[in-house]
Amino acid sequence: MNYKTHLATTFAVSLPYMTSNDALTVGSLSLLAVGAVFPDIDEPNSYIGRRLTGVSHSFKSIFGHRGLTHSIVGLLLMGAGAYALAEAFGFSENLAFCFCLGYFAHLVEDSFSKKGISWLQPLSKKRFQSGFNLIYYSTGSIVEQLIFILSILAILYHFSPLEFGTLLPVSLEGWLSRLFD
């Protein structure tokens, strides 16, 4: 999954939660976005990897792509780092939480890819595919593009004060009543 799909999907699934918890700020959304792309720090060609080349090459050579950064241990370590940084610089813990939320969403999204991820690293390299090998996408495939489009629609819907029905050129209700008149 490329970084745009990760961002779109993560925002689509997190926005309802963040809105209902009054956590929708520029800061929290930024940290959510950083968390959503951060696990791919282990791939030098990824969006984040290209921005932190040195770190990225080291991670890839030590852990490999979709290695430790794509596991529960990786989430806990990076999350602990985020909370420690928030504490050290006097930022709200909510920002660290949003980073963790984005990070976790990335792992779930990758776990639906065809190959899945090894949640239990470094204990086990066994890969888990969350869709039981029935529901999956391949990176760059039409399915991934569809996920991207649906996520963008979900985000627009979330922010839109309009009901989607009013956006249709013909009211569905009116059309149906005419059909069955």
Q: Supply the minimum distance, in Å, between the C-beta of residue 130 and Zn ion.
A: 13
71 versus 94: smaller Cβ distance to Zn ion: 71
Q: Supply the minimum distance, in Å, between the C-beta of residue 22 and Zn ion.
A: 30
Q: Supply the minimum distance, in Å, between the C-beta of residue 8 and Zn ion.
A: 15
What does R_g of the chain's alpha carbons equal in angstroms?
A: 19
Single out the segment in contact with Zn ion by CB under 5 A; choices: 14-22, 108-116, 149-157, 162-170: 108-116
Q: Could you say whether residue 109 binds Zn ion (CB under 5 A)? A: no
110 versus 144: smaller Cβ distance to Zn ion: 110
Q: Supply the minimum distance, in Å, between the C-beta of residue 181 and Zn ion.
A: 53
Q: CA torsion, points 113, 118, 120, 121, in degrees to nearest 10?
A: -140
Q: Could you say whether residue 144 binds Zn ion (CB under 5 A)? A: no
Coil, strand or helix at 117: strand
For the chain, report the end-to-end CA distance as a whole number of angstroms.
48
Single out the segment in contact with Zn ion by CB under 5 A; choices: 37-45, 47-55, 96-104, 139-147: 37-45
| List of long-range contacts for 73-82, beta carbons under 8 Å, 24+ apart | 73/121, 73/122, 74/39, 74/121, 75/100, 75/103, 75/104, 75/107, 78/38, 78/39, 78/103, 79/103, 82/31, 82/35
Which of the residues 45 through 104 are near Zn ion (CB under 5 A)?
A: none
Q: Supply the minimum distance, in Å, between the C-beta of residue 164 and Zn ion.
A: 31
Q: Could you say whether residue 110 binds Zn ion (CB under 5 A)? A: yes
Among 7, 15, 33, 40, binds Zn ion (CB under 5 A): 40
Give every CB contact of residue 29 below 8 A, 6+ residues apart in sequence.
Answer: 11, 18, 98
Give dist(CA 87, CA 64) in Å, integer.
30
Task: Kindly list the residues in this chain that would bind Zn ion in the complex (CB under 5 A).
Answer: 39-40, 110
